[in-house]
Amino acid sequence: MSAVVEIRGVFPAGIALLADADKARPIAWRDGEAVTARDFLAEAVALSAQLPSARYAINLCEDRYRFSVAFCAAAVAGQTNLLPCSRMQQTIAETRAAYPDSYVLAERVPQDPNARHFVLPGVLETDKATPMPSLPPEHIVAIAFTSGSTGAPKANPKTWGALCASSAFNAGAICAGAAPNIVATVPPQHMYGLELSVLLPLRSHAAIHSGHPFFPADIVHALVQIPAPRLLVTTPHHLRALLRSDAVLPALDAIVSATAPLPAELARTAEARYRTRVVEVFGSTETCVIAHRRTARGEPWSPYPGIALHPQPDGTLVDAPYFPAPTLLHDIVELLPDKRFCLCGRNGDLLEIAGKRASLGDLNRRLLAIPGVEDGAIFQLDADDRGVRRLAALAVAPNLDATQILDALRAAIDPVFLPRPLRLVAALPRNAAGKLPRAALLKGACEQATVQASRALHQNVE
């Protein structure tokens, strides 16, 4: 793959690494201490001179600040950051095989020590007078991979010019008022995490907390380490866990949610509990964020400037001046007269059984609305020998049994869409971004069925 692609937008010959020229401003927070843009630039440029000669860097850094330094260092060195959807050894091995001229860029030696790698030094000798680097807008600074929630991960090249254009719209939609300080629960390797917790500090006046909190207590701890105004970048899964924990959060300027549909009731509860606004953003790995809305108010989606939506029989064609080409999403939209739009589900989510229709999105919404269900997912199994694709479900409900959940669903949906089997599990196989890869769902359903069958056999033998 070429290191550059042709882009249709009009960009200058070079775009500065940081949009805000103020080098004294905070760009990150580490252990309660501010890191200035000047120090960040000095580290990124110093590191770029030490990187191995290669076309691709598989960026596995976990500390968000060090990821950002490594991301920019690779870009300044003319390399492309590869952002695998998982850090499992098999995924990394597959990425290395697909991109032979690559190395693992991380804070520690990778699981496979024989893999070509570069470990970030603990301390970098820097020049605080480092000038602001600029990057060609057509340079592919990253290749992001889809999460695998609908199948095998796919590679999506991202140019510097396109990311800068998209980031400017994110800043306009999210950063209202003073410079926000961000805590993010999603990893920087995920496109949503990259946009809101790495690129937003680079391309606006925001600053990022270096951690990657997951549990409610960790999120609270991270938020109290940064000053107001605070911005929490998270997912519906993490937000639901925060509300269940009764965690007391410091003042928030806003909560941003993505990666899965955000129920309006969940958004309203969060706004009331934390006295803030909840902004839901819509996009994909292929397009980046393209729209936003205030979910608690039931608002339609407002597309970013320049975004054009063209409904198709199998989805929606999305275009923008900074896209290399129009992109087909599998989301079905209804265009409104004021240029806003409503989401009507995904092409692959629409079900037809016994002449009746439903969507997986609506079925999942009804499953999660059952009191006592803490998490859950309804999904289609692969076709059986007769070509039939049954519905199955995994649910986390410590105080309920499967019969109670099915009875509650039976009162809310047509019986032909009841998931069978419905398995109770301790936790859903969510990845670091809160998504549910299809392979993990199928494996979870299969393993749970095997466990239950083994127990039944054991009881019969006894």
3-state secondary structure string across 346-370: EHHHEEEECCEEEEHHHHHHHHHCC
From residue 166, give the alpha-carbon distance in Å to each of 151, 204, 335: 26, 12, 22
Topology of the domain covering 354-461: GMP Synthetase; Chain A, domain 3 (3.30.300)
Residues 6+ apart with CB under 8 A from 57: 51, 70, 74, 79, 80, 81, 82, 102, 103, 105, 118
Residue 373's identity, in one-letter code, is V
Distance (Å, whole) CA 110 – CA 89 = 9
Q: H/E element holding 271? A: helix 264-274
Closest CA to 394 of 383, 380, 378: 378
pLDDT for the residue numbered 454: 35
Encode the chain (462 residues) as per-residue pLDDT tens digits.
334 444 455 567 899 999 988 999 999 999 899 999 999 999 999 999 999 999 999 999 999 999 999 999 999 999 999 999 888 888 899 999 999 999 999 999 988 888 999 999 988 888 888 999 999 999 999 999 986 555 567 899 999 999 999 999 999 999 877 789 999 999 999 999 999 999 999 999 999 999 999 999 999 999 999 999 999 999 999 999 999 998 999 999 999 999 988 999 999 999 999 999 999 999 999 999 999 999 999 889 999 999 999 999 889 999 999 998 999 998 989 999 999 999 987 766 777 776 677 778 889 888 998 999 999 999 988 877 666 678 999 999 999 999 999 999 998 888 888 998 899 999 998 887 778 888 888 887 776 543 343 333 333 333
Token pair of 66 as six digits: 């060090």
Burial 201-210, CB ≥16 within 10 A → b, else e = bbbbbbbbbb
Residue pair 344/315 in contact (Cβ under 8 Å)? The answer is no
pLDDT for the residue numbered 431: 83
pLDDT for the residue numbered 44: 97
pLDDT for the residue numbered 152: 66
pLDDT for the residue numbered 8: 56
Closest CA to 160 of 115, 202, 109, 222: 202
Topology of the domain covering 15-244+253-258: Rossmann fold (3.40.50)
- Backbone dihedral angles phi then psi of residue 308, each to the nearest 5 degrees: -120, 130
Closest CA to 238 of 220, 225, 252: 220
Collapsed DSSP state (helix, strand, coil) of residue 462? coil
Burial 133-163, CB ≥16 within 10 A → b, else e = bebbbbbbbbbbbbbbbeeebebbbbbbbbb
In terms of pTM, does the model score above 0.95? no
Domain ranges of the chain: 15-244+253-258, 354-461
The upper half-sphere exposure of residue 28, i.e. CA atoms within 13 Å in the direction of its Cβ, equals 22
Token pair of 15 as six digits: 């775009």
Cross-sheet strand order for the sheet of 102-106 = 117-119, 102-106, 56-59, 80-83, 140-145, 155-159
DSSP letter (8 states) at residue 421: S
From residue 421, give the alpha-carbon distance in Å to each of 304, 335, 401: 41, 37, 13
pLDDT for the residue numbered 450: 39
Residue 289's identity, in one-letter code, is V
Could you count the other beta carbons within 10 Å of the beta carbon of residue 107?
Answer: 15
Token pair of 304 as six digits: 């970013």
Residue pair 295/277 in contact (Cβ under 8 Å)? The answer is no
Say how far residue 99 (Cα) sits from the centre of its chain: 23
Residue 369's identity, in one-letter code, is A
